[in-house]
Structure formats: structure tokens, C-alpha cells
Amino acid sequence: MTNHSEHFYTPGDGIKMFYRFYPGAQGGTKTPILCMHGLTRNSRDFEDISPRLAAMGHDVIAIDVRGRGFSDYDPDPARYIPLTYVNDIFGMLEERGITQVATLGTSMGGLMTMIMAKLKPGLITRACINDIGPVLQTEGIERIKGYVGGSRDFATWDDASAALRAINGIAFPKETSDAFWLAFAKRTCREDETGRIRLDYDPEISKPVKGGDVAPVDMWPFFEALRGIPLLLIRGELTDLLSPDTVKDMKTRHGKMDVVQVPDVGHAPLLTEEAAWSAISTFY
């Protein structure tokens, strides 16, 4: 596995943002890839795929947006919105001297991709978005509202695994092994200094979500900013967040978007599935 280094970037409001940097093989001569996670997730979601991308010659940056993982929690929950995270990323990229990136965004990370394309034309050279679109299905939104910010402390890793299986089992119905769900828990939770295991995000991130401030009301202008940029959409066959009709509209409006569906998976694919990785490795 490719080694990575760990870094912090502090924007003007003083909230530190954590990210992992995976140096690309042969000096990282290809365009850097920026990996952006979903609402309640963190950079560990990309710990399997980042070394693979780095081995292809890309420097890879996997972030923890504020309020997740090793990034600081924000005392003002109103700032837990994609626009804030995007501005944090712009500052981090500027600090590193990166003027162009390819992006890989899961769920919320895909919405951030669209916003970045709209606000900084020319920054993104190609984009992969994972199980997300400009229109979100009500069923999926209500499911997310139902668990985000809820019970978050566990006595053992077995307890954490069981809780996460109960929440996410609908997305991975064929994953029945304890090993899979333990690995899932290790990416989603962290053991604190007291030995308690907790979900690795600030429960206050739920406030904007439950208040309806998930994304701008009309995301189509942001999605359309990706027109002319090579675009790959990964969709879980069982997803409750991204409808086939929305995918059809996305293909029409973009013109050249490629779509790969991951069988027997809901929201959101892990990206290491055979169908997903085959498409991603070819795309980048």
C-alpha cells in the first residue's frame, strides 16, 4: 500500500481541515485527484482506492471536511454546508499550489464537485461523482435525516458494527460477513481517549440537513457547469437517492456523461466493487 502523509489546512475562520496526501508513482506526473466523502463520512472511505490511484501516477488528496474525522468541529452549525467545504478546499489547493484537479466525490462530495465547477471554471479537468445528482429522491433524503446526528457512542466495536449494519444494511444486502461490517465501522467511527467508540463526526452537522439546507434549491446550473468536462457517474443499483429519470436528464444535459451501475448496492457504492473500480481505473 502506498504511504500517505497527514496534513492540516486552516482557513480564515480558524477551523482546521485535515487531509491525507498520497504521492503519485513516478513523481505524480498526472493530474492530482481530489477525493471528497459523503455527509457523515471521512477520508478513510478512500483508504483502499487512494493507493490504487496513486500507483497510476496521480497525487491523491483525501479530505475530512470540517466536523468530520480529524478536522475541527465548527462552533456554528450553520456553516456545515457544501459551500463552506468547497471554500475550504479552494484555500487548501491554493496553499499547495494546485491549479487543476480531477475529482472523485461520493454523495455530498459529488454536490461539492458541481459547486466547484460552477465557482471555479477551469479547475476541474475530469470528474467522477458517486451516486448523486442535481435532484435527490425524497425517500433517500428522509432516510438520511432519520439517522444523521443520532445515537453515536458504543461500548465495543461489535456494538458499533451492529449499529451500522442496521442503518446501512439496506445499501449492502449481500454483505453478511462480520469482517465487512467491522471494517465499515472502523471507517465510520473512532475510539476516543476514554475507550468509547463514537461516530466520527459532529452531531451538529444534522442541523442544516434537517432544516432542509442540504444544497442550493436548484442544483441543475451547478451540474451544467460540468458540461465539457469528462464525467463519470457511478450509481448503486439499489440506491434510494438517485432516480433513473434524474440519470437520464443528467446524460441529456451533459451530453457525454458515462454511467456505470454497481449491482446489488444502494447508496453509496464503496468504489472498490469490480464494476466501479474497472470504470474508475479506466476513466483516470
- What value does the mean pLDDT take over residues 237-258? 98
pLDDT tens string 122-176: 999 999 999 999 999 999 999 998 889 876 899 999 999 999 999 999 999 999 9
pLDDT at position 13: 96
pLDDT at 71 over 90: yes
pLDDT at position 2: 54
pLDDT tens string 196-240: 999 999 999 999 887 765 555 799 999 999 999 999 999 999 999
The domain spans of the chain are: 5-137+217-283
Q: Which of 59, 107, 66, 61 is nearest to 86 (CA)?
A: 66
Average pLDDT of the chain is 95
Q: Specify the residue for cell string 429519470.
A: 245
Residue 213 burial (10 A CB sphere; 0-12, 13-18, 19+): middle
Phi-psi region of 65 (alpha: psi -120 to 50; beta: other; left: phi over 0): beta
- Answering whether pTM is above 0.85, one says yes
pLDDT at position 1: 45
Sign of the torsion formed by the C-alpha atoms of 124, 125, 130 and 136: positive
Which residues are within 8 A (CB) of 124 and not within 5 positions of it... i.e. 6 or more apart? 100, 101, 102, 103, 113, 116, 117, 226, 229
pLDDT at 30 over 90: yes
pLDDT at 67 over 90: yes
149 or 82, greater pLDDT = 82
- What value does the mean pLDDT take over residues 24-34? 96
Pairing of strands 101-106, 124-130: parallel
- What value does the mean pLDDT take over residues 182-206? 95
- What value does the mean pLDDT take over residues 37-65? 98
DSSP H helical ranges for the chain:
49-55, 82-96, 108-119, 138-147, 157-168, 178-188, 206-210, 220-224, 244-254, 274-283
Q: What is the CATH number of domain 5-137+217-283?
A: 3.40.50.1820
